[in-house]
Structure 1
Amino acid sequence: MLDAKLLQLFDLLYTTGSVTRCAEQLGQSQPTVSIWLAKLRHALDDPLFVRTAAGMQPTPRADALIGPAREVIESLRRLAARGPAFDPAQAQRSFRVCMTDASHITLLPRLLAHLRRVAPGVRIDVAPIDAGTAEALQAGKADIALGYIPGLESGFYQQTLYAQDFVCLVNQKHPRIGRTLTRKAYQSEAHIEIVYGRGHALLDGALKEQRIERHVLLELPGFLGLATIVSSTDLIATVPRMIGETLAGLGAVGVYPCPFEIPSYLVKQHWHARQHDDPGHRWLRSVCSELFMRLDQSRKKP
């Protein structure tokens, strides 16, 4: 295999007919260029150029090889060139995003609203986060995964979007709970248990560690309908803050600090190395970080 610099020398010498001018254009000394030319002659088993009064003239073999050599040089240039820039305003592309059903309520509406403004031709396909998420990212069947996904923290790129703690949702007209929710009241009231997502495991672990017993009257597989249920009953729901504050804005639901300690966690976006340098993928990741980091900052303001 010929070195690319030898092919470049071949092209320049064929064009200029001068070792001196080749050295100038390549930024090399004449002795270095002479050494390269000797290697090229040895590799191709031909003098390639002979010195004449009119300069270095190509041999018949050089005449035969210049076309293929220039094709190889152009191919190498195309390989080394940067890919086309991603223009969101003109793009027609689909992205597959893995997220939880809570993110359907908290993150997806904001993402879609932004895309409709700046990238009307971009489509989002939403997939659940499950046991196949890692394989989907590796195979290119999914672009990013948004959420608290400890299983993707090894072997994947990741970026923290915001920290998440827990709150309690209570009917604003609850007959027994006023301005504060005490630990005693928490234990004496009936509860809704959401048995979906990694956050459930953190909550369950905290309850067991602190020996807090709840009377669970309703078990749900997700957050669909939760605001309506809380606003029409005296049941308490303990949920991640982002989903809690979002649902509170949809109905007559109050948000209370949890009366006991629950470990917080980090919501991140995860992606595989195969997508890391894709211009469109970089753009999508930057959109998610801008939208959701800003969302977290606005929540922290008094």
Structure 2
Amino acid sequence: MKLNLRSVDLNLLPVFDAIMEAGQLSLAATRLGMSQPAISAALQRLRHTLDDELFIRTRQGMEPTPRARELHQQLAPQLTLLRDTLDPKGRFDPATSERRFTLISVDYFEVVVLPPLLARIQKQAPGVMLEVVTASDQMNEQLKKGHADMAIDAFVHDDDRLQRQVMLEEKLVVVARKAHPVFKGRCSKKQFLEAQHVVLPDRNRRLPLDQILNAPGWQRRTGARVTQFSSMLATAAGSDMIATVPERLARHYARPMGLQIMTFPVDVPPVPIYVVWPPALERDPAHRWLRQQLAHTLKAL
């Protein structure tokens, strides 16, 4: 049975957020301009409402329970958004904001895009935090339910309830270890099909490459299936298997891993990299600012 929101005093949520952030009741009380007895009483009401201890008193302060951590992960971005929305100034100030953004993506984003994006953000908004969670087939539902602010991925389902924009196109290349007995800087169709490949799991979606690989005479031999792009590259570097990966990612790892980068044996259309977000955040000043920072970062890659 779902919790009836009418039975929850929403004024308790900022108290919960303050205790999580401060780690001490006295400090949380100071931040909220409340007395410590009032904070303690609010915590007791929260414990009763949610049927969880929420915080355990220790020598180091108030230690959150697993339930409290889970709640805070979901509630903190929504409380920040609510504060920004109700701000009478009606604006977002990056220099003072402590907004937390949750982004859904794969390790391609974490390796290629996240470092320069964070470098750009830290100069303008030192208090802003980014959290990246792994992309899955539940991505659209996560966005629509408010569990994430945006997703960056090549795999996008059509959904009228979400906004999306192509912000980058990525070329696919073939990589193999430099001392590979067959590949010497070039990759023919025959060599490609005879080699063993390390691949990613099938996410029930299709890229331009999949259209080629599903055509007659293009069935590749799968030697290993791994969970991340970085694992594909490591496997190719340590074996005679080859991998087809985004060019920017290949160039990032080629020298340290001892990989050679080869053009795909036939022309493959570039892969569009999408940014997807819920319409509810379309006009949110903070979200708009983050999309702008992401666009500038991708343009410079």
Normalised TM-score (structure 1): 0.64
Is residue 263 of structure 2 the alignment partner of residue 257 of structure 1? yes
- The one of 100, 103, 115 equivalent to 1:97 is 103
2:287 corresponds in structure 1 to 281
2:67 corresponds in structure 1 to none
Is this contact kept in 2: 1:148–1:198, CA < 8 A? no
Amino acid at match of 1:139: K
Cα drift, residue 242 of structure 1? 3.1
1:269 corresponds in structure 2 to 275
Cα drift, residue 145 of structure 1? 1.0
Deviations 1:206-244 (A, max 9, x none): 122141232322221222333332222221101233332
Structure 1: which 5+ residue stretches go unaligned?
A: 1-78, 296-302
Is this contact kept in 2: 1:196–1:221, CA < 8 A? no
Cα drift, residue 197 of structure 1? 4.9
2:162 corresponds in structure 1 to 156
CA change 1:189–1:81 in 2 (3 A) is closer
Once residues 106 and 198 of structure 1 are traced to their aligned partners in structure 2, the CA distance between those partners, rounded to angstroms, is 24
Once residues 247 and 294 of structure 2 are traced to their aligned partners in structure 1, the CA distance between those partners, rounded to angstroms, is 19
Once residues 87 and 102 of structure 2 are traced to their aligned partners in structure 1, the CA distance between those partners, rounded to angstroms, is 27
Is this contact kept in 1: 2:169–2:271, CA < 8 A? yes
- The one of 202, 221, 245 equivalent to 2:251 is 245
Once residues 249 and 117 of structure 1 are traced to their aligned partners in structure 2, the CA distance between those partners, rounded to angstroms, is 29
1:87 corresponds in structure 2 to 93
Amino acid at match of 1:236: I
Is residue 294 of structure 2 the alignment partner of residue 292 of structure 1? no
Give the 3-state SS of the residue equivalent to 1:179 in structure 2: coil
- The one of 114, 121, 129 equivalent to 1:123 is 129
Amino acid at match of 1:180: R
Is this contact kept in 1: 2:233–2:243, CA < 8 A? no
Cα drift, residue 284 of structure 1? 0.3
Is residue 229 of structure 2 the alignment partner of residue 214 of structure 1? no
Cα drift, residue 255 of structure 1? 1.1
2:235 corresponds in structure 1 to 229
Once residues 183 and 119 of structure 1 are traced to their aligned partners in structure 2, the CA distance between those partners, rounded to angstroms, is 49
2:151 corresponds in structure 1 to 145
Once residues 200 and 102 of structure 1 are traced to their aligned partners in structure 2, the CA distance between those partners, rounded to angstroms, is 17
Give the 3-state SS of the residue equivalent to 2:229 in structure 1: coil
Once residues 229 and 131 of structure 1 are traced to their aligned partners in structure 2, the CA distance between those partners, rounded to angstroms, is 25
Deviations 1:119-139 (A, max 9, x none): 221111222323332233223
CA change 1:264–1:121 in 2 (3 A) is same
The aligned length equals 217
Is this contact kept in 2: 1:169–1:230, CA < 8 A? yes
**What is the percentage of aligned positions where both structures have the same residue?**
24
Structure 2: which 5+ residue stretches go unaligned?
A: 1-84
Cα drift, residue 251 of structure 1? 1.8
Once residues 256 and 120 of structure 2 are traced to their aligned partners in structure 1, the CA distance between those partners, rounded to angstroms, is 21
Amino acid at match of 1:291: T
Once residues 275 and 238 of structure 2 are traced to their aligned partners in structure 1, the CA distance between those partners, rounded to angstroms, is 35
Once residues 119 and 262 of structure 2 are traced to their aligned partners in structure 1, the CA distance between those partners, rounded to angstroms, is 29
Amino acid at match of 2:240: D
- The one of 186, 206, 209 equivalent to 1:203 is 209
Give the 3-state SS of the residue equivalent to 2:300 in structure 1: helix
CA change 1:100–1:197 in 2 (3 A) is farther
Once residues 281 and 272 of structure 2 are traced to their aligned partners in structure 1, the CA distance between those partners, rounded to angstroms, is 22
Is this contact kept in 2: 1:137–1:272, CA < 8 A? yes
Is this contact kept in 1: 2:155–2:207, CA < 8 A? no
- The one of 114, 124, 132 equivalent to 1:108 is 114
Amino acid at match of 1:243: L
Structure of greater Rg: 1
